[in-house]
Amino acid sequence: MTEALALLKTCVVTATADNQLEMVSELSGLGLVSYVGKGGEVNVSKLAEAIFQTEQSIEKWSRKIAAEKPIDCLGAMRVTQKILEFSS
Alpha helices in the chain (DSSP H): 2-6, 21-29, 44-56, 58-68, 75-87
Residue 42, CB-side half-sphere exposure with 13 Å CA sphere: 18
Identify whether the C-beta of residue 38 lies closer than 8 Å to the C-beta of residue 24: no
Higher pLDDT, 5 or 54: 54
pLDDT tens figures, 32-88 = 888 999 988 889 898 888 888 887 777 777 777 777 777 777 878 888 888 888 887
pTM here is: 0.62
pLDDT tens digits for range 14-36: 999 999 999 889 888 888 888 99
| DSSP, res 50 | H
The pLDDT of residue 7 is above 70: no
